[in-house]
């Protein structure tokens, strides 16, 4: 080290040399062990994050994602049960069930499914042509009444369940679904529990286009119970044909010994098949606003003055004793 004037310069040079040495040492550490330590730390953190994410996907949220995956490759189809048959006292069927299809398609802007009812021929034609992505068919049944005018007020009709009824506890407990038909009026409503039956389910595997590949499982449906009524279809038809056209009134035929009702006819009548096959809003309004009130059952809802039923007894007695003649009764 130099003394004198050069002493301060010597100190400055020495200080710079020490700083350069420290900087070189720092750079050497960064280029060597320091960089390796930081890289190892980053890799450790990344591995931990990936491990945790894998654990969350497979264990924590695994069930949810498994259900979502199964939902994309499987569909649960409802196997709708046909309603039970309504029979007359002789065992003659009064109704029949006709196959139809429900076209199930996703609702626009919603996560639920929409139902479009189709007739049998349309459903089969659509199956042949192919369905759009996300669409599939469910087999269903519609009701056809074989004596529509003669027994309309006795049998009633079926109608599609509405949203208010679906939210009702009675229907929700019994697992009614949107699009199901329930009895309205008459025997269809009174024997709803017996006639309805139990729907089944079918789990199917589908491809990306929604085409069914195979059946994975099936819970068969159970048809509704058949119900035999006391009415006689032939007698009801005779009562309808014998009733004067254009007149309002009712005919009731009963069996006095048992109290059974053999026929009920209310005029004017209507066809319950109109409700099964589908009524437009205009047709429905025209029906319920008809001044002749065809939906009104005059046999049980009308108010009529009592008749002189005892005259029948005296007339029969007079005929048997010969005091009156048959033509005299007809004239009176």
Q: Among 182, 151, 42, 158, which residue's Cα sits nearest to residue 87?
A: 151
Phi-psi region of 272 (alpha: psi -120 to 50; beta: other; left: phi over 0): alpha
Query: What sections of the chain are H helices per DSSP?
Result: 6-29, 35-55, 62-73, 120-129, 152-155, 163-166, 169-173, 186-190, 192-196, 233-242, 273-277, 281-288, 298-301, 310-321, 326-331
Q: Are 262 and 255 in contact (CB under 8 A)?
A: yes
Q: Are 153 and 299 in contact (CB under 8 A)?
A: yes
Helix (H, G, I), strand (E, B) or coil at 184: strand
CA–CA separation, 25 and 279 (whole Å):
93
Of residues 112, 167, 280, 308, which has the active-site annotation?
308
Question: What contacts 188, CB < 8 A, 6 or more positions away?
Answer: 86, 143, 155, 156, 157, 158, 195
Starting at the edge strand found earlier in the chain, the sheet holding 136-145 runs: 113-118, 95-106, 136-145
Residue 41 CB neighbour total at 10 angstroms: 10
Q: Are 158 and 182 in contact (CB under 8 A)?
A: yes
Question: What contacts 85, CB < 8 A, 6 or more positions away?
Answer: 93, 94, 95, 96, 97, 226, 227
Q: Tell me whether residue 178 is one of the annotated catalytic residues.
A: no
CA–CA separation, 252 and 263 (whole Å):
6
Q: Are 168 and 161 in contact (CB under 8 A)?
A: no
Positions marked catalytic:
308
């Amino acid at each position: 080290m130099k003394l004198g004037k050069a002493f301060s310069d010597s100190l400055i040079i020495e200080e710079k040399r020490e700083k350069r040495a420290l900087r070189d040492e720092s750079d050497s550490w960064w280029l060597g062990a320091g960089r390796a330590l930081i890289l190892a730390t980053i890799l450790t953190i990344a591995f931990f994050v990936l491990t945790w994410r894998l654990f969350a996907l497979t264990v924590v949220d695994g069930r949810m994602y498994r259900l979502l995956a199964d939902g994309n490759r499987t569909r649960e189809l409802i196997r709708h049960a046909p309603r039970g048959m309504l029979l007359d006292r002789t065992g003659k069927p009064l109704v029949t069930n006709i196959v139809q299809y429900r076209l199930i398609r996703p609702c626009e802007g919603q996560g639920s499914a929409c139902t479009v009812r189709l007739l049998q021929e349309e459903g089969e034609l659509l199956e042949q042509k192919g369905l759009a992505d996300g669409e599939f068919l469910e087999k269903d049944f519609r009701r056809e009444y074989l004596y529509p005018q003669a027994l309309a007020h006795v049998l009633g009709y079926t109608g599609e369940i509405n949203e208010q009824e679906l939210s009702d506890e009675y229907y929700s407990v019994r697992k009614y679904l949107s699009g199901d038909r329930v009895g309205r009026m008459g025997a269809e409503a009174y024997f709803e529990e017996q006639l309805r039956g139990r729907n089944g389910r079918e789990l199917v595997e589908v491809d990306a286009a929604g085409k069914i590949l195979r059946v994975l499982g099936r819970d068969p449906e159970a048809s509704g119970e058949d119900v035999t009524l006391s009415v006689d279809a032939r007698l009801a038809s005779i009562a309808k044909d014998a009733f004067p056209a254009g007149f309002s009134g009712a005919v009731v035929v009963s069996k006095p010994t048992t109290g059974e009702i053999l026929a009920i006819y209310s005029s004017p009548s209507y066809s319950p098949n109109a409700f099964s096959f589908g009524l437009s809003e205009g047709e429905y309004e025209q029906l319920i606003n008809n001044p002749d009130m065809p939906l009104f059952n005059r046999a049980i809802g009308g108010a009529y003055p009592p008749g002189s039923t005892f005259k029948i007894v005296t007339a029969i007695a007079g005929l048997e004793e010969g005091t009156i003649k048959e033509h005299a009764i007809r004239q009176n």
